[in-house]
Amino acid sequence: KIIVALTEIFNAVLRIQYFPIQCKFGQIILIPKPGKPPQEAASYRPITLLSCLSKLLEKLILKRLKPLIHEDITPDHQFGFREKHSTVEQVHRIVKIIGNDLEEKRICSAVFLDIKQAFDTVWHIGLLHKIKKHLPHQYYLLFKSYLSERYFQVKQDQELSEYYLIQAGVPQGSIMGPILYQLYTADIPTTENTVTATFADDTAILASHRDPLETTNRLQSALNQINTWTEKWRVKINETKSAHVTFTLRHIDTPNVHLNGVIIPKQEKVKYLGIHLDR
């Protein structure tokens, strides 16, 4: 009987494109970060718990949605949330590009971007615009309902806060959150003379040439386009936490590159997808 009732509810959701309000409440618990001062808010990692009914419904929607997004929308450089794609394969792709450049005596200059609170700051109006543009109309109506009137409360020990309205971001702890973020960032600009590598929000841009100045010009051109894109879609990048690394066998350096008027700090090595890459 429960299965029959759930089937009727889920079919009704898909038919009328309305996500039940009962499935849009989240409870946040705070996990202490090891070695951090307990009196500071930044010392805790928030984890959002959603109802089992919500997750079952989202799994059903995701199963129908995945083929549409992966076949027609997801760019080749995005390796996150995709079958037969992994962090290992993305790192191998980058390492192979750098290795080939070194063998050919080219300079490879790369920027590794730190996107600020990537999943929590997604602009709902912008996301719905892209859903309306790329997906059938029924999904636009469904996700408009899915994103609106969502609330969260915080639980600390046995104490509960009041409920607060969520006004930005994809829902934490949700099944749909990652693929909605992927849809939102699928149109990040790429340029002909650079390589883009993304895994969820981990983003790297690589440019190469024998001339260090031309290498920098290519990289800066790509960053200029990304800067325009981030301003349009309200994506915030932490420039000072991003990294600029130049891979070369020569004893030379490349000029600085900047984003949003801020110079990207140069580093001797960077950690990307859990792997350390150094000059």
Burial of 17 (0-12, 13-18, 19+ CB in 10 A): middle
**Average pLDDT score over residue span 113-141:** 95
Q: What percent of the chain lies above the pLDDT cut of 70?
A: 100
**Residue where the block lists tokens 């110079």:** 263
pLDDT averaged over the chain? 93
Using CA atoms, how far apart are residues 147 and 59, in angstroms rounded to an integer? Answer: 16
Q: Looking at residue 68, what is its pLDDT?
A: 85
- Least trusted range by pLDDT, from 16-25, 60-69, 224-233: 60-69
Query: What's the token pair of residue 36?
Result: 């951090």
219-244 mean pLDDT: 97
Report d(CA 159, CA 84) in Å as an integer: 43
pLDDT of the residue at 246: 96
Q: How many CA atoms lie within 13 A of 46 on its CB side?
A: 16
Q: Hey, what long-range contacts does 4-7 have (CB within 8 A, 24 or more apart)? A: 6/53, 6/56
Looking at residue 43, what is its pLDDT? 87
**Residue 27: which of 169, 178, 156 has the closest Cα?**
156
Fold classification of 73-118+184-278 is Alpha-Beta Plaits (3.30.70)
The span from the CA of 233 to the CA of 213, in Å, is 30
Domain residue ranges of the chain, discontinuous segments joined by +: 1-68+124-167, 73-118+184-278
Determine how many CB atoms are found less than 10 A away from the CB of residue 26.
Answer: 22
pLDDT at 81: 86
Q: Are strands 164-165 and 151-156 parallel, antiparallel or unpaired?
A: antiparallel
pLDDT score for 92: 95
Q: What is the pLDDT of residues 34-91, one digit of tens each?
A: 988 888 888 888 899 999 999 999 999 999 998 888 777 899 999 998 888 999 999 9
Q: State residue 176's pLDDT score.
A: 95
